[in-house]
Structures are given as structure tokens and as C-alpha cells.
Amino acid sequence: MKRKFFSSAVIVVLVGCGSMANREAMPEDFVVVNEALPAALFEIRYYSDNNFLGTKVDGYEKPFCVLSAQASAALAHVQRDVQQRGYTLKIFDCYRPQRAVDHFVRWVRDVGDQKTKAEYYPNEDKARLIEKGYIADRSGHSRGSTLDLTLARTSDGTELDMGTPFDYFDTLSNTADPRIAEKKKNNRLLLKTAMEKHGFVNYDKEWWHYTLRNEPHPDTYFDFPVK
């Protein structure tokens, strides 16, 4: 979600057409993380209807995690470290095309669609999700070095309990929310410590949201599809 705004933002449209392969559509310094980190788990939520919109999101043509090469390389170090402790990364979203962000905004404005309220925003007014910063018309994800993820046990793939689900629009999702039980707070800290060690910065309103500190495209919002 993903809340940083840049008034001087540049939106770059790089859309593959016809039979053009994704390697041709992506900038040269982007990679498919599913290939770079085969031991990680991937549940790309916006490729399915298992998300807060309740439908597949525009721009997600394949269930891939795409990131800048720099972010992918840093993430590989995180994966190595957590595996040594019996965990693996589980990734929900990475690069997000601008058209997907636009889809989010249209969803918010369709206030009659409340089918996911009980699961994703039970305590919030959908009409105020933009005003309150849960949804934005520019997302750090579109710059290519931000991702949403959690930790899971290597043994069986079970996610660690982080106190709230991914994309739960509530202050309980704040990384350091004091109401979260100690064990769940420690799980959040485990992820945060591993990510920060290798150059990622947490967005403190969302325990799952991390951006590479020295991201290579800090002012560019891409719109090529994930495919």
C-alpha cells in the first residue's frame, strides 16, 4: 500500500505486447525473484482473488515476484539467514504496476462493494481508506524495490503468527503496536531484524512492508505488467 508520495514522480510505461517475453518488457535491471530464490515461498495475492479487492488485480498476468536486481540480491541474503534458523521467506507482493495501483483507487471509490470488509477492514470506513493512508495513488512498490512478505517454517510452510493477516487495514498492523502479544511481536521483530541486516527498511504502519534503503529507482513509477 504504500504510502510514500513524490510530487515529481515519473511514471514509466513499459508494456510488452503480443508475444513479447517479460524479459523484453522489464527494465534490464529487474529480475523474477521466483527464479532467483527458488527456496522461498510465493503467494502473489493480487494475481488471485484472495486479496482485499476480492478479485484479480490489473497488471498481474503471472504469479511472479519481480524486483530490481539490487533488491533481489539483498533478499537472497535474508533468505539464507532465515533458513539457517529453520524459516523461509513467504512473499505476497513485489513490484506493482501503476495500473494495479489505479485499480486499488477505483476499488476504494466503489463504496458499494463491501464484500471483503469483514476480513480486511472490519473497523474502518472504506470511503476513508485513502484519506487515512491505507491506499495511495502512488506506491513504492511501483519503483521496484519494495515487497510485502512474512516468515514461514521451513518444515511445513506454516506462516508465523504476526498478530494480523497481510493487508489488514487497522492500526494493529503497525509493526510496533503495543497491543500485539509478546510472541507475535517477537515474530515481527525476527522478520524486521533479518530484513534490516541486509539493507531493507520497514514501513512502520505495516509489519509486512519493506523497501531497499538505497533503491535504484527512487523517483520512477513503472507500469510494465507482471508476466
Q: Three-state SS string across 165-193, please?
A: CCCCCCHHHCCCCCCCCHHHHHHHHHHHH
Under a CB-based contact definition with an 8 Å cutoff, are residues 90 and 40 in contact?
yes
- The single residue of 43, 131, 196, 206 carrying the catalytic annotation is 206
- Which residue type, as a one-letter code, is found at position 99? R
Q: Which of 223, 195, 215, 200 has its CA nearest to residue 29?
A: 215
Work out whether strand 87-93 and strand 41-42 pair parallel, antiparallel, or are unpaired.
parallel
**Using CA atoms, how far apart are residues 102 and 165, in angstroms rounded to an integer?**
23
**Using CA atoms, how far apart are residues 103 and 89, in angstroms rounded to an integer?**
27
206 is catalytic: yes
8: Cβ contacts below 8 Å, ≥ 6 apart: 219
Q: Which residues does the annotation mark as catalytic?
A: 206
